[in-house]
Amino acid sequence: MTGWVFIATLLAEILLGASLIVTLCYPPLRIWPPPKRNSWQYFFTWGLTLGSWAGILTLGVLDWNRFVLGHWVRLPLGIAFIAASLVLVLWAVKTLGLKASQGLGGILVQEGPYRITRNPQYVADIVMLGGCAVLANSIYVWISCGVGMAWFVLAPFTEEPWLHDQLGPDYDHYRERVPRFVSFRGMDRTV
């Protein structure tokens, strides 16, 4: 059963990745962000996303602690990553709003976590996947989480042209000031 869940999870993630490639190569057939809530693109993306997350959780249970990180320290470390990511994603969704968080448009938000990174929800998802991989200690989960992380790294490249079209020059100025993910610029300044 573990093998089938792994294949289904990878298939969902590969289809999600292919949707980004289609969007990048042929923008008129934009899959992410979806054009509207009741579109096939919306159901395609969110269905596969929920399916891949469910697959990762199932793999974590079915193949628990069968990889190389047998030390107990992985438990508090994985839990800490997951907890930190939950705090960040909830803060980001509260700041941006649920509609915009689903890729359905909105206004330009430059406060809260969006002062630090243009994509705090993606950063949180990457950290959460890392926490799941550490916690589960499963080769299947490590691979699935790695493929899932790749989607969150690539997704902003499909969103940025769309955001430019939606928000105009204000977004371009924001993009110049705030990094795509995380930057430590300015942290090394002396007083």
Q: For residue 16, what are its two tokens?
A: 């999600």
Count Cβ atoms within 10 A of the Cβ of residue 154 and give its class: 0-12 exposed, 13-18 middle, 19 or more buried: middle
Reported as a single tens digit per residue, the pLDDT across 120-145 is 999 999 999 999 999 999 999 999 99
Count CB-CB contacts under 10 A for residue 112: 13
What tens digit of pLDDT does each residue of 44-94 get? 999 999 999 999 999 999 999 999 888 899 999 999 999 999 999 999 999
